[in-house]
Structure 1
Amino acid sequence: MTGLWVLVATLVAAGAVGALLKARNGRVRKAKPAVRALPAPVTDVLDPASAVTLVQISTTFCAPCRHAKAVLAPLAERTAGLHHVELDVTNSPEVAQSLSVLRTPTTIALTPDGRELLRVGGVPKGPELLDALRPHLTTRTP
């Protein structure tokens, strides 16, 4: 009988963890104040002509990364002032570490000067991301 209770408790705990992870996936989070400078691979891809650059942190064997790109690339193409770049950190984990990225895909919205606006862990939801970015999307002149 004890084994049955252990099994039930394990299933309940696993279900709770699964529900928590599902709820957090794709959620837009406000940026925390940056204390470190951005690594060079990130500053190199920032677009000075765009109000916001979406830097998608990916790895080679990440299936959700392809889904994130399928959401972000068209969103950036049809939105003025928005630029999307995918940065593969498979061979440079120090870049992910310096950005405090713990999972891929993670999308970080950055201003041209490198200030983080927000980040999304997992596959972003296009409309929610666009709503969160709308105050920052202004037409810039180079």
Structure 2
Amino acid sequence: MTTGIWVLVGTLALASVAGLAWRRSQGRVRTAKMSQLPTELHKLVDPSSRVTLLQISTTFCAPCRHTRILLSDLADKTDGLQHVDFDVTNHPEVATSLGVLSTPTTLAVDSKGVELMRVGGVPKRDTLLDALRPHLS
């Protein structure tokens, strides 16, 4: 009986640590993983904009909707910033080529389509804007 309790306590502790680690990683700005975008996404980059926020979404992703609202608003209020959304539901090969394992994932790319940084999950507005400032000025 006591062994079963210890197994339960250990499992709950391990699950809690894993959940906290995952939650902590969501919304954090990370360095770029690739230098050039796939053709389907490169067509979406605005060459007249200094930075394009390329949101990778799926159809039934609730956090994707929140991210879309946040990024659209940020782009509307920031000079040199553009936001586009790409749904990978019917294009899983694009997500695979980008190394995207979950949605939403936001890629910040320059006017030539070179990835500057990426955010997994719903971005934290101020953190993202601070990370983008050097690329917007």
Q: TM-score, normalised by structure 1?
A: 0.93
| Distance change in 2, residues 1:66/1:33 (3 Å) | closer
**Pair 1:25 & 2:26 matched:** yes
Q: Distance in 1 between matches of 2:18 and 2:60?
A: 24
Shift of 1:67: 0.9
Q: Distance in 1 between matches of 2:51 and 2:60?
A: 27
The 5-angstrom pairing of residues 28-43 of structure 1 reads: 28-34=29-35, 37-43=36-42
1:108 equivalent in structure 2: 107
Q: Distance in 1 between matches of 2:70 and 2:34?
A: 27
Q: Distance in 2 between matches of 1:89 and 1:78?
A: 27
**What SS class does the counterpart of residue 83 from structure 1 fall into?**
strand
Q: Distance in 1 between matches of 2:46 and 2:106?
A: 15
Shift of 1:32: 3.2
1:15 equivalent in structure 2: 16
In 2, are the aligned partners of 1:71 and 1:125 still within 8 Å (CA)?
Answer: no
Query: For residue 69 of structure 1, what is the amino acid of its counterpart?
Result: R
Q: Which runs of 5+ in 2 are unaligned?
A: none
What stretches of structure 1 move > 2 A for 4+ residues in a row? none
| Distance change in 2, residues 1:124/1:53 (3 Å) | same
Which whole-Å deviations, capped at 9, do the CAs of 1:40-97 have from their partners, x for residues lacking one? 2211100011000000000001111001111111000000000000100100000111
Q: Which runs of 5+ in 1 are unaligned?
A: none
2:84 equivalent in structure 1: 85
RMSD: 0.9
**What SS class does the counterpart of residue 118 from structure 1 fall into?**
strand
Q: TM-score, normalised by structure 2?
A: 0.96
In 2, are the aligned partners of 1:56 and 1:105 still within 8 Å (CA)?
Answer: yes
1:67 equivalent in structure 2: 66
Q: Distance in 2 between matches of 1:98 and 1:32?
A: 11
Shift of 1:33: 4.9
